[in-house]
A and B are shown apart, each in its own frame.
Chain A
Amino acid sequence: MNHKKLNAAEVGAKGLAGLKKIEMDKFGPFLALLVLFAVSALASPYFLRLRNLTNILRQVSYTGIIGLGMTFVIISGGIDLSVGSMLALVGGIGILLLNYLGGGAGAIIAVFFGAVVVGAVAGATNGFAITKGRVAPFIVTLGTMSIFRSLTLFISNAGEFRSHSSLYPSVGMGYFLGLPNPVWIFLFLTALFHLVLYHTRFGRYVCAVGSNERVAVYAAIKSTWIKFYTYVIVGATVGISAVLLSSRLNSISSTNAGAGYELDAIAAVIIGGTSLSGGSGSIIGTLIGALILGIVNNMLNMLGVSPYLQGTVKGIVIIGAVLIQRKGKRLF
């Protein structure tokens, strides 16, 4: 009898400690963002200017949107390294389609949906190889990263995809209620994906598959489909990002477009508190992670740090974020 009581006490103590950890996981990135924001505001008088702030928001939107899709992939236990190359390919095809359709308003709408579909198909290719071919996600997407870029270079002969539409730039350059269009789309997708992750069966299943795929399979969850869909989703977000980026520049460079985006997208997810080992994560966290990266870049520019050194700082931020999260876990 005594034993039973003790057990309950033990469970209670552990449960309480468990709660504290959850709070830390949830609010850690947010606290970091607040601190960074305050420090930046003190360090530079220009930081708080509206133009600077909207600029940061716009800059983080392109990789942030991809990061949202990437969050699902990472929670399910996967990774997608191909997103940067995929963006160039999808963006390039989008511009070819735009020019073919004449570049009017109807053409732009068609291109938007066309890019989402092409992105989703590219993502499905990854997903198919990973789930049906049973090749590790790292390997598959490392391969397609090379393939997508090479196809882009081949189609454009290593040059630029240039749009002939005069209307197209208004999509990526435009503002709505004081914020750049890409920012609105980023925020809208954040809300939508948050809803999907926490309030739909799909979101729950993604977490279950990433947490322990065998348990998920035994619980009648079709884990291969779940994993497949996460790659389709990240492909679709790449499509959206490709339209936003290409319309801002009215062109896509086959060599540079999307270069390094996979790093920023994955970094945003990780800094936001989603664990690379999968099982759980946060869409809001990814939003915060993207903002943190954006502010750090912005500050380095303002403080006149050499652009060549910015990669070093970014790397330190990524490793630091994971270290802090790891420490919270080691208490148990």
Chain B
Amino acid sequence: MSDILVRTAHLAKEFTGVRVLNDINIEIERGEVFGIIGENGAGKSTLIKLLNGTHFPTEGEIFFEGEKVHLNTPVAKNLGISTIPQEFNLVKDLNVYENIFLGREYRRRGGLLDHRHMKQRARELLHSLQAEVSPTMKIEMCSVAEKQMVEIAKAVAYNSKLLIMDEPTTVLTPIEIGILFDLIHRLREKGVTIIYISHKLKEVRQVCDRVMVLRDGEFISLDRASDIVEHEMANKMVGRELEQIFPPKPTPSDDVVMRVENLSVPGLLHNISFDLRKGEILGFAGLGGSGRTELAETIIGIRKKSAGTIFIKGKKRTIKSPSDAIANHIAYLPEDRQGTGVLVDFSVTNNVTLGSLKKYAHILINHRKETAQARKYVKEFDIRTPSLKTKLRFLSGGNQQKVSLAKSLDSRPEIFIFDEPTRGIDINAKMHIFSFVHDLVESGISCIFISSELEEVIGVCNRVIVMREGHVAGDLIGSDINEEEIMQRATGVKQGVAV
């Protein structure tokens, strides 16, 4: 009965003397969906990379179909181990079938490509996956879900026995997720083994046969998915009771600090109106692409609005650029930390003062004053850095995020917009950020809190605005702030304002 496809024995991995994975002993059966969950930095990605040959283990062994194997990428591929990465490896200028056969094209005698044969084979493959994607469509024109189908078809074309999926649903809509799950079931019936990694515990429970929890590189538990509820999973991942994570919610006053009226950006935002009160944490929930980041970028003047007005403390304001936003005491913590938040090649100090350098310079920059301020933030936020001169590229994601926070805060805002402030950072840094937000509103600053983690929005915010396709799809307060109410509005099942 039990047919073990992959077995690991005392698997461990170190990077420059740091043990990121320790003593992992697992047996994965043929044809099962094996879930792996854990916080960021728990060792999930490292384990995958050992299994698909990207990294070599520091200690321990891997057995594939009973035989000990030394994996590197080509060996893993030949054995039938494929990975569907979070960022797809597709060439956007090529067609679907050209991508599927990239690097192992069918050829006719004489060396020319056999397009007809490849198209036909691609059509068969996609058909067997019940994926309605045309083999001749350009990747550029494909939706995210279609791209994922192509990736899966690519893997199946390699006759994969083990398919590793890393956070496959983050970019998908609920309907697309449904299609993916059907596909996973079909693959499993064909005897393909799937390792499924996700942050979304509900999905893990829904789609996996067994679930393994990793924490700080250690094996914590392995259960049948039917035997463990989400709450238990979460507690095991974090290693403590979850309720402690969020500080108490402060009580906002009735003064409206910012009023946004009928804000519109063609194709992105449609008649967005809301009030932000003093000392309030106003959450923005919604699916990816619902326009939350675009809203924030429009408020701070990075995007051009086609209509709408912004009132700050009752007065109409024109904000056409981020410097206008700063002049109006609005700070923004960008979603894409390394793309728009911090300069990874700048030192801690120079990042902190980037947006507020005016304070430190008449004609020449007062380096001492600047350094003193940076030192203050490093102490206050517990930023772990070897020195103030260290480039940010050498700091962890959580510490980079704290520097980004310090940078936004140094412009002395009264309104602080957080955009996915906890993305990609570990639980300790997350808690720091929650308590930071809490302290801010206690001191009278108003916060807008954009997050895709429902749990966070629910745990942190006084009020939650749900967005869907550029519209306000709901405005929730009090006990209405729960997962069900938010999701129903975010997906369009339920509409309107609950008061």
Contacts and interface: CB of A to CB of B under 8 A. Distances in A.
A199 interface: yes
Contact of B345 (A8, A15, A221, A279): A279
Contact of A195 (B343, B364, B385): B364
A219 B411 CA distance: 10
A204 B343 contact: no
Contacts of B346: 207-208, 211
B394 A11 contact: yes
Nearest to A198: B365
B216 A16 contact: no
A11 B385 contact: yes
Contacts of A195: 364
Contact of A15 (B334, B354, B385): B385
Interface in B320-372: 321-323, 325-326, 332, 334, 339-346, 350, 354-355, 357-358, 361, 363-365, 367
A14 B16 CA distance: 9
Contacts of B216: 2-3
Interface in B379-396: 384-387, 390-391, 393-396
B343 A212 contact: yes
A204 to B, nearest CB: 6
Contacts of B395: 11
A265 B108 CA distance: 53
Question: What range describes how many residues of A lie at the interface?
Answer: 35 or more
B344 to A, nearest CB: 8
B322 A6 contact: no
A279 B393 CA distance: 14
A293 to B, nearest CB: 27
B19 interface: yes
Contacts of A221: 354-355
Given A214-B340, A220-B321, A204 B386 contact: no
A201 B367 CA distance: 11
Contact of B343 (A6, A7, A18, A208): A208
Given A211-B343, A215-B341, A9 B17 contact: yes
Interface residues of B, number: 48
Given A11-B394, A18-B390, A218-B322, A3 B343 contact: no
A220 B326 CA distance: 7
Interface string A187-225: 000000001000111001101100110111111111000
Contacts of B15: 10
A200 B322 contact: no
B396 A11 contact: yes
Contacts of B357: 201, 204-205
A220 B322 contact: yes
Nearest to A218: B340
Interface in A1-59: 2-4, 6-16, 18
Contacts of A212: 339, 343-344
B339 A215 contact: yes
Given A201-B365, A218-B302, A219-B407, A11 B322 contact: no
Interface in B15-55: 15-19, 41
Interface in B457-499: none
Contacts of A201: 357-358, 361, 365
A118 to B, nearest CB: 27
A205 B323 CA distance: 14
Contacts of A8: 384
Interface of A: 2-4, 6-16, 18, 195, 199-201, 204-205, 207-208, 211-212, 214-222, 279-280
The 4 tightest CB contacts between A and B, nearest first, are A15-B386, A219-B355, A220-B323, A220-B322
29 contacts: A3-B216, A3-B217, A6-B19, A7-B384, A7-B396, A9-B18, A10-B16, A11-B384, A11-B385, A12-B386, A13-B16, A16-B386, A199-B365, A200-B361, A201-B357, A204-B350, A204-B365, A205-B357, A207-B346, A208-B354, A211-B346, A212-B339, A214-B340, A215-B339, A218-B302, A218-B340, A219-B407, A220-B322, A220-B326
